[in-house]
Amino acid sequence: MRWEGRRQSSNVEDRRGMRVSRGGLVGGGLGTIAIALLIVFLGGDPTAVLQGVGGPAEQAGNGPYVESPNEAEWRQQTAVALADTEDVWDAEFKALGGEYRKPTLVLFNAGVDTGCGTAPSAVGPFYCPPDEDVYIDLTFFDQLAAQLGAGGDFARAYVVAHEVGHHVQNLRGISTQVHELQQRVDEVEGNQLSVRLELQADCYAGLWAHRADKYAAILEPGDIEEAMTAASAVGDDRLQRSAGRGVVPDSFTHGSSEQRQRWFQRGFETGSLEACDTFKAADL
C-alpha cells in the first residue's frame, strides 16, 4: 500500500498509557473472532471471547506510553488508511445527498473506556456505535501477522476499513434495523443477521479499496491478496476447525472464510454501494 508521505487523518486520539476503569464490554468486531482464534492457537479456551464477554480490562499504565518502532509505523499507516476512508465515504454520502460524520480512531493499550463499556485488548479492533469511534490496540497487528498469518500494511488497512464499515452501517441506520430484527427472531436467525452485518462491512472495505485506488492509486502488487488473507483468517469455519470442532454454520456470527473473502472481493470489483446493500439470505 502506498502510504508514506500521504495525508494522515487528524481524527486519531491516542489513549495509550491511560488508566481505565474495571468492567466488561459485550461487543465484537473483526477482532473478536481473530483473538478467539489466537487463543486457540495458544492452547487456551476461546469460549468467553466467542460469547462476547470481554471480562475486566487490564489497568494500563498511568504515564507516557513508549511505542515500539513497529507501532510507530502502524500508527502512521492506520492514520493514512483512516484518511482514505474519510475521502471515500465523504464523497459517497455527498452523492446520496447527505453528510458523512467522520469517526475518531482511538488508540489504546491493555484496556479502554468507551460508550459501550470498558473493553480489554482481547476483544481486538472494534467499533462502538454510541460514541461513533473505532478502537484499536496496535499490538493486535503483531498477533494478526504472527499467529494468524495475515501480515502486511494492506491487511492492517483492511482492518481499519472494516471497522469504519460498521460506522457507515450505523450512520445509515442499518445496524439499528438489524438489532431490532434480532430481538424478534430465534438465535439461528439472529446469528445470520449478524453475519450479514459483518459481510456487508467486508464489502464496504472492498468498496473503499476500489475507490481509494481509483483516485489515489494506493494499491501495490500483493495488497488485495493481503486483505483476502486477513478476511480468511477471521472466518468462523476456520475458527471452529482450529478449535477441533465440527463446522456449524448455524452458529456463525461473522461468516465463513470464503464468505468474507467473497464479499470483500464483491465490493472491490464493483466499487458499488448498491452491490454491498443488495443481498438476501441465499446470497450469503
Considering the domain boundaries, does residue 1 fall inside one?
no
Average pLDDT over residues 215-244: 85
Q: Which residue has the cell 471452529?
A: 240
| Mean per-residue pLDDT of the chain | 84
Residue 120 lies in a domain: yes
Higher per-residue pLDDT: 9 or 17: 9
Most confidently predicted of 30-34, 100-104, 126-130, 232-236? 100-104
Residue 91: inside a domain:
yes
SS3 120: strand
Cα 31 to Cα 19, 54, 141, 162, 208, distances in angstroms? 22, 12, 10, 10, 19
More confident residue, 242 or 93: 93
* 6 part of a folded domain: no
Residue 99 in any domain: the answer is yes
40 confidence band (pLDDT: 50, 70, 90) = very low
Structural domain span for residue 91: 12-283
Res 22 pLDDT > 90? no
Give domain status of residue 2, yes or no.
Answer: no
Q: Considering the domain boundaries, does residue 45 fall inside one?
A: yes
Cell of 41: 492457537
pLDDT score, position 265: 96
DSSP tag of 58 = P
Res. 31: pLDDT tops 90: no
- Higher pLDDT, residue 242 or 145: 145
Which of the two residues, 246 and 78, has the higher pLDDT score?
A: 78
Domain count, the chain: 1
Residue 60 — pLDDT band, cuts 50, 70, 90?
A: low
Q: What is the mean pLDDT of residues 218-226?
A: 95
Q: 259 in a domain, yes or no?
A: yes
Q: What number is the average pLDDT over the span 152-157?
A: 94
- Name the H helices within the chain: 30-41, 47-50, 69-95, 140-146, 153-171, 174-182, 187-216, 223-233, 236-242, 257-270, 273-277
